[in-house]
Structure 1
Amino acid sequence: MSLKEKLLHQINHTSKQVSQNLKDAETAKLGEQDLELYKKTIHYLSKLEAQLPDALSQNHFDLFHKNVIAFGSFYSLSLAGQEMSEDFAKQLKTEIIAKRDSIISHLEKSEFNLNLFSMLGFFNGNIVAVGANGSGKTSLSEKLRQYLPSSGVVISAQKLLIIPVFQGISNFEQTSAKLLQLQKVTKNFKTSYNADGNATDAVPAVGFEFMRLLNNLLAERSAIGNKYLNEIRAGGTVGEIPQTRLDQTLKIWNSLIEHRQMDCEDGINLIVRAPEGIYPVFEMSDGEKVMLYLIAQVLQAPKDGFIIVDEPEMFLHKTVLNKLWDALETARQDCIFVYLTHDLDFASSRTTASKVWIRSFTHPDHWEIESLPETGMPEPLLMELLGSRKNILFCEGKKGSNDVRIYELLFPNMTVMPVDSCGDVINYTKAFNKIPDIATKAFGIIDSDHYGAERLSALSPYKIHPLPVAEIENLFLDESFLSSMAPRIMKGAEEIAGIKAGVIEKLEKDLEMQVAHYVSAKINYYFNNSHVSKGNDISEVDTNYKEFTRQVDINKWAEERRTELKKIVADRDYAKALSVYNNKGLKSVVEKHFRITDFFDRSIGMLQFEDGAKVILMKNFPTGAFV
C-alpha cells in the first residue's frame, strides 16, 4: 500500500467517524457553533483527500497523518448504534465545550498546512522561497514553527551567538525534552524590555538556544557512550564505536575550515585547535559560531521532517556558505529543506531545489506563493526582479558601471537592471510584463542607432524607449546642464560655446572612425538578431544564405551614416551630435574649456544632490514614458 493509499484510508475512516458523530451531535441538539466544528472538520478532510498528490513523500505523510489522527481523537464519543439519552447528550456537550478551543486551533493549523503545501505543489524535494522585503518571509517561518511543532524545525535569522561553559553532563532524556520544547517557541527580537532591566530577559528563547543545542549533543554522546561501555562490561561483543550527532557535528565543522579542528576532549566542553594555539569555542568568530549553531540545529531536527531556514546566508562567508548547506543536505536526506533567502547567488546554488516566489503577504497569515513563472529569463535574474518592490528599468551595461550609476540617480524609484545586449533589454522587458497579476512593471532603454523610427514607435507600447543620446554620459553635455554647472566654477556662455564647437570639431575629426564603428555595430546587431531561413534541401539553404548576407550592404550603410554625420557637422547641430556621437572621451572637451579635471564627478554630484539637475536631464526623455 502506497503512502497516499494509507493516508486516504485514514482520512476515510476519520471522515466516517466525524460524520456519524455529527449526526449524534444534531440529535443531542448541540449549539450551531459546535455543530459548525463538525462540518468544518468534514470539509477539511474532504479537501485534503481531493488535493493529495499521487507521489506523497514520507514527510508530508507524517504531517497530515498526525493531523487526521488528531481529529479522530477530538470526536471520540459516539452512540455506537445506541439510543440517545439525556446523560449522553450532556456528556457530549461537555466534551465538545472542553475541546472546542483545541479543535478550532487544530482546524486552523491543518487548513494552513494544507493551503501552504498545496501552493507549493506538495514538493518532494527542497524549496527556495524568494520575495521582496515585506513579503512576509520571516512571518511565514514563524507561522511554520507554530504549525509544524513536531514535524519540523525553524532556524530563525535572529541568533544570539553566546556559547556557555558546561560544568557537567545533563540527563539525555531531560535535555531532549527541553530542546524539543524550545524548538516550538518563537525566537525573534520583535519585543522590548524595561530600560532598567536586562535585554536578554526579553528573549530567553534566543538566549538559551545555543546552550540547549550543545547540552543535548553532549548528553546524547555521554548516554550512548555509557550504554556502549555497559554492554561491553556485561560481556557483549566489542564492535564499532557508535557515532553520535556530536561526532557528526565535529566532522562537518572540521571539513569546512582549514587549519582548525574542533574537539571535545573532556567530554564536556568544545575546544578549537589552531596553528596559534588551543582556544575555547566561545572565543570563535561569529562565522565559526554560526556554522556550529546551524550544524547542531539541522542534525537535531525531527526525522523525516521539514527544516525551515530563514536567511541561511546570515553571518556566513561566501567561501563556506554553499559547502555548509551541501553537507547538511547530504547529512539530512530524510528531511525537506525550505530556504527563505535574500541571497540570490545562494538561491541559484540550490540546483536541485524548486524555486518559488512569495507573490504577496496580507497580515497576519495570508500568503500567495507560486512557482517561478516561465518567462525565458535567466533564473537568477528573474528571482532578483521578483524580489523588487520598485518598477524595473532594463538597460545595457554592467553592474557597478558609470552608466548604471547615472540611471540609478535619474530613476531612483526604479530597480535598474543592466543586461548584456539591446535584444536582452527588449526580450526581458516584454517577458516580465507578461507575468500575470504582478504589481511592478518593467521598462527598457535601448540604443536607437540600429532601429528606424517605425521600429522604435512599435516598441513604445511595450514600455521600451530609445536613449536620447549616443552615450548615457552625453547627457551631462546637455547645454542646459552645462549652463547650470558653469556659474559654480566661474564660467559662462563663452566657455559653453567653446564646448559646443569643440564637440563638433572632434566629431568632424573622428567622422570616418565613427562611420566604421557604426557599420561594425550594425553588422553585429544584424547577425545577432536575424537568422537564415530554414531550407528543405541544400540548394534552398544556399539561396536563403545568399539572401541573408545580401542584406548586409556595408558600403550603403557607411555612406548613409557618413552623409548624416557630415550634415550634423555642417549645420553645427550640437544636440544632434550628442545623439549620435559614441565617444566616452567627450568629457575632456568640457574639462578643457571649464578648466577642471573632475567633470564626471561634479556631474554625478549635481545629479545626486540637486533636483533641478535631474529635471534638466529628464527633459531629454519622453514625458510620462517611465510611469
Structure 2
Amino acid sequence: MELTLPKKLNASQPITLETKGLVVIGVNGAGKSSFGKCLLDQYGSLAKKISGIHALFINNNVEEPISEEENEFSRLQSMITERLFMPRLSEYEKLILHLQSEEFEAAVNYKEACKVNPDLLPPVTKIDRIQSIWEKIFPHNRLVRKSGFIELASGSRDSDSYKAERMSDGEKLVFYLIGAVLCTPLNSLLIIEEPETLLHNSIKNLLWDEIEAMRPDCTYVYLTHDIDFAASRPDSKRIWIRSYDADTRIWDYELIESNESFPEEVYMEILGSRKPILFIEGTDTNSIDSRLYPLIFPDYMVKPMGGCQKVIETTKAFGQLKDFHNLESKGIVDRDRRTQGEITYLREQHIFVPNVAEVENLLMLEEVIKTVAHRLMKDPENVFNQVKENVIKLFEKDLESQVILHAKHLVRKKLETTVDRKITTVEQLAEHVEGIQQNIHVQDIYTNIKNEFSLYVETGDYKNILRVYNQKGMLPQSRLCNICGISNKESYLNLIISILKENKEDADAIRSAIKESLGI
C-alpha cells in the first residue's frame, strides 16, 4: 500500500511510503496517538483503529452531540436511563456477540445445505480461525464452544471447562486482537495502538506474526514505545517521532534506516533515552565494564556492544547520524597493546582507550586502592606500597611473556601496513614478501620492548606497568584483597560499586582517577 504520512516538520512535500507495515515509535507524549488519529481521519472508511487495552473495558468518554437546550438534569436522567436499560458493552464483548451470531448463522446455513448435500464439509468460521491461532499462542489451554457461549479448558481433553469471562486479561486480549483484525474489511489500514500491552515477551511477536500471516491483505501501522517489538517487524518501515505541535498539526519525525554497523533496535533504544551515549565492550551485564562505566559516567546511557570492533563501527555510525539525533556519543575500547598512533586515531573518532592494559587494571589505580583502603580504615599509603611491590614482582616474573605479547602485536601491525595492495602478479608478490623481513626488524622490536619493560621494573614505574601488563589474575595475585581484609576480587569490586553509588567524596576520587586514565 502507498501510505501518505502526516505532515512532517520542514518537509516541503508529503511523504509517501510503499509498505505493508509501519512501526511508529517514540517516548510517551511524543505524539504517536495523534499520528494514528491523523491517519484514521485521512483514510476514513479504509482505516480502523484497534486498541486491545481499551477494548477490554467500557469507554465512558464517548463523545455525543448535546443540544444547547439540554440542561444538566436531563443529561443526567438520560445517562441513568441508558445505564439501567441499555448497558454499554466493551469492544471485547461486542466482538464475542458478533462472532457468536455469525457462528449461529453459519451452523443454520450448513444444516440447510446438508439436506441437499449430506457429504458437505462444515464451514470454517471466524471463531475456528481465532481458535487455531489462540491455541498456538496458549498451547496448554483450549477453547471449547458450547451453545451460546465459549468456554476455556486446559490442554487435556478430559479437563473441566469454565466460561471465557474468567480468562485472564492477557488471554482475552489475544482473543480480541485476532478477532478484531479478522473482522476488518478487505485491504484495510489497521492502526494498532500499543500492540505489546499486557502481552508477555514470549508471545507478543508470535501473535502479530500469526495475525499478519492471517490477513496479508491489510496494512499495519503499529504505535508503540516497545523497542523489542519495533525491531521484531523486519518487513516494516520504522519512523521515530521526536515531538508533535498540536496547534499546527505537524510532527517532527524521521525514517530509521538500518545498516550493518548500527542495528535499528540499538538506534531506537538510544533515541528513547535521549541521553548522550557511551558504547563499551562486552555483552554480559555482570562484566566489570557494564557494572563500572555507568557509575563513572552517570549522565550517559551506557550500551555494551560486544567486541572492540563493534564498538568502533557503532560509534562512528552513530556519529555520522548526528544531524538526525543531535546526541553526543563516545566509545571506550580496551587497550589491547595498541600503539600510540592507533590510540590517537581512535580518540579523533571520540573513542577512548584507558591508560591501562585491562579493564581490571582500572581497579588497581593508585587513587582507587587508596580510597578503598581509607574506607576500610587501613593506612592508604601502606596498603598501596605493599600492592605496588607485589605487582612489580609479578610483572618481573612475567616479563618475557609480556614482551613477546607486545612484540607479536607490533610485528602484526607492521605486516598489515607493509603489504603493498597494488601488487598484480605472483612474481611481484614473492619479491615483496622476501623484502618484508628487511623492513621489519623483529630482534630490534623485541629488544626495545624488553629494555622498556625492564626499566619499569628497575624504577618501580607502577603506572606504566598497569599500562602494559596484560594479566587478568593480577588483582588477586597482588594480595590486594588480603591486605585490605576483603575476601575476594568480587567483594572488592562490589565495594567500589557501592562507593560510587553513594556519590560522595570517595566516589568523586574514584571517578576522577578512572576518567583521568581515559584521558577525559
Match of 2:108 among 226, 235, 239: 226
* Cα gap change, 1:565 to 1:111, in 2 (>3 Å): closer
How much does 1:551 deviate? 7.4
Amino acid at match of 2:261: M
Gapped regions of structure 1 (runs ≥ 5):
1-56, 65-109, 165-177, 185-200
Aligned AA for 2:453?
L
Amino acid at match of 2:19: N
C-alpha displacement of 1:444: 1.5
Alignment of 1:417-432 (within 5 A): 417-432=303-318
Match of 1:123 in 2: 18
Q: Aligned equivalents of 2:258 and 2:320: distance in 1? A: 10
Tell whether the 8 Å contact from 2:9 to 2:250 is kept in structure 1 after alignment. no
Show the counterpart of 1:444: 331
1:532, 1:207 → 2: CA distance?
A: 77
The answer as to whether partners of 2:151 and 2:162 remain within 8 angstroms in 1 is no
How many angstroms apart in 2 are the aligned matches of 1:455 and 1:376? 23
Secondary structure at the aligned position of 1:621 is classed as helix
When residues 112 and 403 of structure 1 are mapped into structure 2, their CA distance, relative to the original with a 3 A threshold, is closer
CA distance in 2, matches of 1:207, 1:607: 54
Question: Aligned partners of 1:288, 1:558: CA distance in 2, in Å?
Answer: 68
Q: Secondary structure at the match of 2:90?
A: helix
1:605 aligns with 498
Task: Determine if the alignment matches structure 1 residue 253 to structure 2 residue 159.
Answer: no
* Deviation per residue, 1:184-241 (Å, 9 max, x gap): 9xxxxxxxxxxxxxxxx9xxx99813212222222222233334445667x6887443
Match of 1:269 in 2: 150
Query: How far, CA to CA, are the matches of 1:567 and 1:378 in structure 2?
Result: 44
Residue 154 of structure 1 aligns with which residue? Answer: 49
C-alpha separation between the residues in 2 aligned to 1:504 and 1:536?
Answer: 50
Matched, 1:390 2:275: yes
How do residues 477-488 of structure 1 correspond to structure 2 at under 5 angstroms?
Answer: 477-488=364-375
| Of 136, 140, 145, the match for 2:31 | 136
Q: Over residues 588-607 of structure 1, what are the superposed CA-to-partner deviations in whole Å (9 max), with x where a residue is unaligned?
A: 22202112112111011111
Q: Sort the Cα spacing of 1:565 and 1:352 in 2 relative to 1 into closer, same or farther, 3 A.
A: same
The answer on whether the counterparts of 1:359 and 1:369 sit within 8 Å (CA) in structure 2 is yes
Contact 2:6 2:251 in 1 (8 A): no
Contact kept in structure 2, 1:587 and 1:600, CA below 8 Å = no
Counterparts of 1:345 and 1:546, CA distance in 2: 54
Once residues 369 and 144 of structure 1 are traced to their aligned partners in structure 2, the CA distance between those partners, rounded to angstroms, is 15
Aligned position for 2:357? 470
Which residue of the partner structure matches residue 208 of structure 1? 90
Q: 1:534-575: CA deviations, max 9, x gaps?
A: 543333454566678987766555444333322222211222
Question: What pairs up with 1:138-537 in 2 under 5 angstroms?
Answer: 138-145=33-40, 147-156=42-51, 158-159=53-54, 161=56, 208-229=90-111, 239-275=120-156, 277-354=160-237, 356-364=238-246, 365-373=249-257, 376-379=260-263, 380-400=265-285, 401-435=287-321, 436-492=323-379, 493-519=381-407, 533=421, 535-537=423-425
Change (3 A) 1:464 1:133: farther
> Which stretch of structure 1 is more off in the superposition, 450-459 or 212-221?
450-459
- CA offsets, 1:19-73, max 9 Å, x none? xxxxxxxxxxxxxxxxxxxxxxxxxxxxxxxxxxxxxx3x75xxx9xxxxxxxxx
Matched, 1:618 2:512: yes
Structure 2 Cα separation of the partners of residues 565 and 272 of structure 1: 73
CA drift of 1:434 comes to: 1.1
Give me the whole-angstrom Cα distance separating, in 1, the residues matched to 2:14 and 2:404.
55
**Map of 2:482 onto structure 1:** 592
The answer for the alignment partner of 2:77 in structure 1 is none
Contact kept? 2:262, 2:314, Cα under 8 Å: no
Structure 1 residue matching 2:153: 3-state secondary structure = strand
Kept in 1, the 8 Å contact 2:9–2:253? The answer is: no
Structure 1 range deviating more: 536-545 or 283-292: 536-545
Deviation at 1:138, TM superposition (A): 4.2
Checking the alignment, whether the CA contact within 8 Å between 1:119 and 1:370 is kept in structure 2 is no
1:114 is displaced (CA, Å) by 13
Check if 1:580 corresponds to 2:464. no
Q: Which has the higher contact order (CA 8 A, sep 6+)?
A: 2
AA partner of residue 297 (structure 1): A
Separation of aligned partners in 1, 2:343 and 2:190: 50
For residue 239 of structure 2, what is the amino acid of its counterpart? W
Q: Report the CA distance between 1:419 and its aligned residue.
A: 2.4
Q: 1:546 to 1:247 in 2, by over 3 A?
A: farther
Q: 8 Å contact 1:344–1:384 — kept in the other structure?
A: yes
Q: What CA distance in whole angstroms lies between the structure 1 residues aligned with 2:26 and 2:319?
A: 17
The amino acid across from 1:226 in the alignment is: V
Q: Which residue of 2 aligns with 1:39?
A: none
Alpha-carbon separation, structure 2, partners of 1:270 and 1:278 = 6
Aligned equivalents of 2:370, 2:260: Cα separation in 1:
45
Q: What is the CA–CA distance in structure 2 between the aligned matches of 1:244 and 1:397, rounded to whole Å? A: 51
Q: Which of 564, 568, 582 does residue 452 from structure 2 map onto?
A: 564
- The one-letter code matched in structure 2 to 1:489 is L
Aligned CA distance change for structure 1 residues 374 and 252 (closer, same or farther; 3 Å): closer
Code of the aligned partner of 2:508 = V
Q: 1:368 to 1:377 in 2, by over 3 A?
A: farther
- Answer yes or no: is the 8 Å Cα contact 1:149–1:183 preserved in 2: no
The one-letter amino acid of 2:497's match is I
Aligned-partner residue type, residue 206 of structure 2: K
Root-mean-square deviation (CA), in Å? Answer: 4.0
8 Å contact from structure 2 (residues 186, 218) kept in 1:
yes
Q: Take 2:359 and 2:518, find their aligned partners in 1: how far apart are those partners?
A: 19
* Paired residues of 1:495 and 1:593 also in contact (CA < 8 A): yes
Classify 1:310/1:522 alpha carbon distance in 2 versus 1 (closer, same or farther; 3 Å).
farther
Return the TM-score normalized by structure 1.
0.67
- Once the 2 structures are TM-superposed, how far is the Cα of residue 152 of structure 1 from its aligned partner? 2.4
Q: Kindly, what percent of the aligned residue pairs are identical? A: 28
What residue is the counterpart of 2:71 in the other structure? none
Q: Aligned residues, how many?
A: 483
CA distance in 2, matches of 1:548, 1:348: 48
| Structure 1 residue 254: Cα displacement | 1.8
C-alpha distance in structure 1 between counterparts of 2:418 and 2:306, whole Å: 17
In 1, Cα distance between equivalents of 2:279 and 2:508: 21
Is the CA contact (8 Å cut-off) linking 1:357 and 1:369 kept in structure 2? yes
TM-score of the pair, normalised by structure 2: 0.79
Partner of 1:42 in structure 2? none
Residues 308, 333 of structure 2: 8 Å contact kept: yes
Pair 300,556 (structure 1): closer, same or farther in 2 beyond 3 Å? farther
Measured against aligned partners, the alpha-carbon deviations of 1:309-342 in whole angstroms (never above 9, x if no partner) come to: 3343333334433332221111111101123344
Q: CA deviation at 1:376?
A: 4.4
Question: In structure 2, what residue type is equivalent to 1:274?
Answer: G
1:307–1:336 contact (8 Å) kept in structure 2: yes
Counterpart of 1:574 in structure 2: which amino acid?
Answer: Y
2:250 alignment partner AA: H
- Structure 2 gaps of 5+ residues are 65-82
